[in-house]
Amino acid sequence: MSRRLTLILGGVRAGKSTYAQRLAASGERVLFVATAEAGDADMQARIEAHRESRPTDWDTLEEPLDLVSALMPLLPRYDTVLLDCLTLWVSNLMLAGSAPESPRCDIPEAIRGLLELYRSGEASWVIVSNEVGLGVVPTTKMGREYADELGRVNQMVAAEADGVYFMAAGIPMVVKSSAP
């Protein structure tokens, strides 16, 4: 299988992770990259459900912020990387830089670094992200900034991706496709 970058977009509970796992399962050596942090009991339960849904022979990297540094030494071991998800990664980066004493992360620069890491390796990547631009406009300044940042990140990944799928009710719809 030749190296491919696949982006899976959709709303909450649209089946993105399940579809991404199905695609990643064609790999022989899979690294699952989780960006979620358990900030409350509900998120802890979601994380546990995701852990239980993954094949036991997949390795997992849990990294909420510095994906490039954490992934770089690991990539040669894997032929497939499943990153779930950009949505939480962008949120984590924004929140890490929201304290007055914290420097604000350059999120477009961070995604450029992640895409460069993909280009430098041999592994196929499947990346999951939420499409937040179809709903209600957030009422807070930070909420609007988040939707803008995630929209830009999704566009950057989609521009580079070989395949982009939009999930609705568990059904993948092809947005962009190039033959493997």
Name the residues annotated as catalytic: 50
- Taking only Cα atoms into account, the Rg of the chain, rounded to an integer number of angstroms, comes to 16
Distance CA 168, CA 105 (A): 31
Amino acid at 138: P
d(CA 89, CA 127): 11
Which runs of consecutive H residues, i.e. helices, occur in the chain?
16-24, 41-53, 67-71, 86-96, 107-120, 141-160
